[in-house]
Every structure is written in C-alpha cells, then in structure tokens.
Chains A and B, each alone.
Chain A
Amino acid sequence: MAGRFLKYAFIALLLFPFAFLLMLSFGRGWGYPHVFPEQWTLENWRFILESQAGLGHSVLLSLLVSLGVAVPVTLASFWVSRAVSYSPYRRRWLVLAYLPYVLAPVVLAACLQAFFFRGGLSGKVWGVMAAQLFITFPYGVIFFSGFWNRRMQAMEQLVATLGGSRAQAYIRVLIPVAREALMTCFFQIFLISWFEYGLTTLIGVGKVQTLTLKVFQYVNEANIFLAALAGCLLVLPPVVLLWLNRRYVFSGAGGR
C-alpha cells in the first residue's frame, strides 16, 4: 500500500512540471498570493495562429531548422561513422567527436561567430542550421559507432561474397538492418536541434526566432503565460516521441 502510494506520488512529481506549464498556458492574471491563475482562457493558445504574434511562425521555423538538420546529419553520420568505426584510430576519432560537447556548444559558437559573420551567415536560418551541424554531426557519429560491429562487417562480407556491390549492401542489407537505429538517431538529432538555445542565439544574433528564443523573449517581457505556452509547444514533440517509443529519446545505436 505504502509502496503503491510512493510510486504514484513519484509519478505525480515527474508529471508536475508539465501540469504546471499547461496551467500557466491557459491562465491570465496570476496576482500574488493566488495559487491558480485568476482567469482561465484559450486566448493564449489562439495566439499561436495569429500571424503578428509570431509564435506560430516560430513553431514552423523550429520545425524547419530541426528537420533540415536531422535528415542530412542522420544520413551523413551513418555513412561517416562506418569509416570512423572501422578505422585503426577509432578511439581517437571518437574522442575528437566528443570535444564540442566537452567544450560546451555555446563556447564553440562564441569562437566561431566571427566566421559566420564574415561568411554572411550570421542572423540567417542557414547559418543557424550550419552551426547546429557542427554539434549534431559528431553526436551522430558517436551514436552510430555502436552499430558498426563485427556482425555488420560479416554481413557486408557475405554480400560481397555473393556478388553484391557496396551500393547493394547498403540498400538491401545495411539500411534495412539499421532502420530502427536510423529512426532513433534522426529523432535524437531532431531533439538536440529543437532544444538548442545558446548557439542559436549567438549565430542567429536573435533574428532566427526559434521556440527556445521565444521562451526567453517572453520571460524577459515578463509574459509568463506566453512563455509557458512556448514551453508547452517545445515539450510536445519529445513527449509524443516518448509515447511512440522511449528509445527515440534515450538510447544508442547498440541499444544502450
């Protein structure tokens, strides 16, 4: 009985941030010391559709950036990680791939900002996507490094022995076998891009208004209801992915 109560209390604790954000997103007026908003309204959510508010635009922009990064990075990192994984210097390459994370993406962006400015990419959607490539691509390579193992090598050898070409090995064997890992990597890279703030602010110089920037903008404007709404919109895709398959949010290609 006590164990069951503890379990439900723990689940309630895990879900509390979502309920709290949702509450604020439907609220208007939250004067101290009220625990709940003074008014409940759908107006904030209607705001998404209004073109002047820019929140709907930010949702579409964030989707465009995240999809535009996740698709090519998943495919490129799948291809490149094979060479990295089978290289005699595998460990060294993988250490290099970890560096952008160890240094912090925002520090990397600070060091690269001048190049983007001179290349005319500063403040542009393309620039933000290119910058995100520099942190998501190494992640993809690390992700797939668990996939390329002796079993995959043996499969490729079998295809070659049976007269298949390298392209056939990819199309008929490796990609179908890697389908689940490719999906997982795609969604995880989508989420890294979707959650990105520091690098996007620096390279986008505040002009590329993705959803994360909107949250910060509304916080600065002390509009907590729209900040909560933008937060809800940010949280929605990963929650949907969790319902579909929790591996999409937390897992490596080797199933770890």
Chain B
Amino acid sequence: MAIKPSLPLALFLALAVLPLLLGLGYALAYSLGIIGYGAEGLTLAHWRAVLGSAYFWRTLAFSFYIALVTISLAVGVAMALAVAWPRAFRRGSLSLFIYFPLAIPAIVMAFFIFQLLSGGGLVSRLSWQAGLISGLEQFPGLVNDRWGIGIILAHFLMAAPFFTILFARLYASERAEALVLLARTLGAGPRQAAFRVVVPVLLRRVFPTIVLYGLFVMGAYEAPLLLGRQTSQMVSVLAVQKLQRFNLGDIPQAYVICLAYAAIVLTLAAWLLGRERARG
C-alpha cells in the first residue's frame, strides 16, 4: 500500500520534536553563557556552580527517593488488591469507584492532603477530639516535612488506583486465573501461585509503565510545590524557582538544572527500558 507520510510527519516533527530541540538548544546556549542577559561568551562557570553544589545533588536524590517510594508503595498495594480481589475491579461498584481518584488533578490532591495532614488539618482535629493530642503543635509534621511524606501520599493516592486498574485488566487479559489453576494443579500453594506465577507475569508486562510513571513522579511539580519545603525540594520546583527569581544571574543555573535533569532522566529511561527490551 502506498503511503505518503511527508506532510503529517513534518507536522509531527514541528509539534512534537522541534519544540523540544529548540527548548533544549536554547537552554544549552544560555547555560554556556552564549546568549541571555549578561552573557559574556562561552563559559562552564554555571555548569560548575550547579554540578559542584551539594544542594543540587541532594535535590536530585530527594526527587529519586520520592519517585521510588511512591511507585514501590503504589505498585505493591495495587498488585495486592488486584491479586486478592481479581474480579472486584472488573465488575460491580468497585470497578467504577476505583476510577474516581483519577479524576482528581495533582494540585487538588495536594490541597486535600494539606487539609488532611497539616497541623490544623482534619487528622490533627480528630486526634484532638480523641484526646491523643492537646494542641495542633503536638501533631507530627506530615506535610512540608523532611521526608516528603505528604508528597509521597499525594502521588500514592493518584498512582495506586491507576496501577490497580491496570493490573486488574492484565489479570484478565493474561489469563492469570488459568495460570493460578495450573500452578495449583502442579502442587503450588496459593501464595506460591501468586508470588511465583501471577506477580512476575503482571510485573513484567507493566514494567515500562512503571518506569515512565516513576519518571513522571520524579519531575512532578504541583504536589511538591504545596507539600514540600525549601530545604528539601524536588528538581522541577528548584528549576522553576531559580528561573523566576529576581536575580537574573540565577537563570543560567536554572537551565543547567533542566538540562542535567533531562540528561539523567533520559539515560535512566534508556537504560531501564533498553535492558527490559533486551531481555525480550
């Protein structure tokens, strides 16, 4: 069949690839002092300043930690739910209501978590009513905290339903029930059938989505903006803050952060997904 792809492919390049190249190219030129306010010619000073700063690496490590903990918890809980109640998420009321958290945007979820877990939030009020605390200052800091508990919880509440739906669908499409029956016939116990057969099959099918979702959480902006704190920021928040500061000298550093983050994330994605592909 003759296909003339030139015009639509040109549109694809113009709308999907060109903005990316332009943006990254501009950021690179700005970060090297070639263009922009106060540019004095080619310099690696901004790169040295960012890559030599412990704060940048701490920010990157914090983003990675948030993504890793969120995804591990969400995938673990979703897998447990899908394996324990394989039919509940395909028919009946749960099969509808499990979609509802997907209707909540990140900024609203962050606001909800703040009103739930902050010192003056609902859980603190309930604790006071139950006599567990006698004032809001006694309530432990669960938002804007050092460990990013609020950020993790906000993303967990969005990711867990997503993976539950995904696993429940795959449970049916991969005929996991038949696999369990076969494993049981061959003498496996219920736990062995679940952990040695169903979980590896589902995890393998979902691995690329897990990687992409993890990277998405790593670059998250809204929830860390509301629920994070200045001393342990996530990388998107740090980049945007540097870009929007009144000190124009910070702008090249903002672009260095964007580019370094892009390089790290792309390497991570290529490595993880490439390795999975090589395994077949």
Contact = CB atoms under 8 A, between A and B. Distances in A.
Contacts of A2: none
Interface stretch (B14-22, B39-47, B142-150, B189-197): B14-22
B262 A107 contact: yes
A14 B100 contact: yes
A34 interface: yes
B1 A20 contact: no
B185 interface: no
Contact of A215 (B23, B111, B129): B111
Contacts of B128: 32-33
B105 A197 contact: yes
Nearest to B109: A17
Given A102-B266, A224-B115, A112 B212 contact: no
Nearest to A201: B240
Most A CB contacts (10 A, CB to CB) among B5, B129, B165, B255 go to B5
Interface string B119-160: 010101110110000001000000000000000000001000
22 contacts: A11-B97, A17-B101, A20-B122, A24-B115, A32-B136, A33-B136, A76-B11, A80-B9, A83-B3, A96-B17, A99-B16, A106-B240, A113-B243, A115-B22, A133-B15, A134-B19, A138-B16, A153-B1, A228-B111, A239-B100, A242-B103, A250-B165
A7 interface: yes
B222 interface: yes
Interface in A197-256: 197-198, 202, 212, 215-216, 219, 224, 227-228, 231, 234-235, 238-239, 241-242, 246, 249-250, 256
A156 B1 CA distance: 9
Interface of A: 7, 10-11, 14-15, 17-18, 20-21, 24, 32-35, 76, 79-80, 82-84, 86-87, 93, 96-104, 106-108, 110-115, 133-134, 137-138, 141, 153, 156-157, 160, 194-195, 197-198, 202, 212, 215-216, 219, 224, 227-228, 231, 234-235, 238-239, 241-242, 246, 249-250, 256
Contacts of B101: 14, 17
B247 interface: no
A108 B19 contact: yes
B261 interface: yes
Given A102-B265, A103-B262, A198-B222, A84 B215 contact: no
Contacts of A239: 100, 103
Interface stretch (B49-57, B68-76, B88-96): B88-96
A20 B115 contact: yes
A42 to B, nearest CB: 21
B92 to A, nearest CB: 8
Contacts of A246: 96, 99
B8 interface: yes
B60 interface: no
Nearest to B22: A115
